[in-house]
Amino acid sequence: MSKELMFFCIPQGAYMGVSNCQKLRKRPVGKAPAGGQTKLRACEKCEMHGLVDSAKVPTVSMASYLSGSRPKPASKQALASAARAEAVPA
């Protein structure tokens, strides 16, 4: 069993693997090259990337997820603070 971590993606409204989130955000916006897929609209305006990358979203292992355990959604306060942190240049 892989060590994949699952979290609740608020923009997509679905449970998603952390690695899948990272793959989806690397897709091009708008037109994609032949055979490619474009970035999902929910991913274009997502503000959860910082929280997912820094492991600040509630997660469960894939084994636990398949056993019926579900992670809690990230709090709106955590999303707001992540959006502020991304907006402020370092």
- What HEC string does the chain produce? CCCCEEEEECCCCEEEEHHHHHHHHCCCCCCCCCCCCCCCHHHHCCCCHHHHHCCCCCCEEHHHHHCCCCCCCCCHHHHHHHHHHHHCCC
Range of the domain at 30: 5-87
Q: What is the pLDDT along the chain (90 residues), one digit of tens a residue?
A: 447 899 999 888 899 999 999 888 888 888 878 878 888 888 888 888 888 888 888 999 999 999 999 998 887 676 666 666 665 555
pTM, rounded to two decimals: 0.75
Report how many domains make up the chain: 1
For position 69, what pLDDT does the model report?
92
Identify the three-state secondary structure at position 17: strand
Q: Which residues share a beta bridge with 8?
A: 15
